[in-house]
Amino acid sequence: MKVKIHRIDPSLPLPKYETEGSFAFDFIARETTLIPVGKVGLIPSNVIVACPENLALLILPRSSTYRKTGLLFPHSVGLIDRDYCGGTDEILIQVLNFSETPVTIEKGARIAQGLFVKTEKIKFEEIDQPADTSRGGFGSTGH
């Protein structure tokens, strides 16, 4: 499947799958970005992606990002909708500096990963009563 993508800085490479078995591809930083201690930063990813119909793009942290930088995703997972692909819709990687020192992400650094997932629009069917179960509410399975 082909996905339309626009690079802001064509001197930087397109996102790519690092191995044949990778499900997600890496986003890289378009510019060097400083994230102060305890602050949220937005790292430009250099790309605008047009998601095909019935696909959503998830932005996920790389498994090594926190260990190497102390940066967390304050929203856990980012979601790129199909209509977020206009001329100013560069994907920005939102991070929180959870470390005790300022963090600098260098231009070209791999900072997040993208994963396409199938989606389907649904229609809600309102019911008068919820199903009768014995679960007992949030956290009720005891795990």
Global pTM value: 0.85
Identify the structural domains of the chain with CATH numbers, from first to last.
18-118 (2.70.40.10)
CA–CA distance, 118 with 57 (Å, rounded to integer): 9
Q: Which of 50-59, 62-71, 82-91 has the lowest mean pLDDT?
A: 62-71
**Which strands form 78-80's sheet, in the order they lie side by side?**
25-28, 110-118, 55-61, 78-80
pLDDT score, position 75 = 87
131 pLDDT band (50/70/90 cuts)?
A: confident
Does the pLDDT value for residue 143 go beyond 70? no
Length of the chain: 143
Residue percentage of the chain with pLDDT more than 90:
80
Q: Which residues pair with 26 in a beta bridge?
A: 16, 113
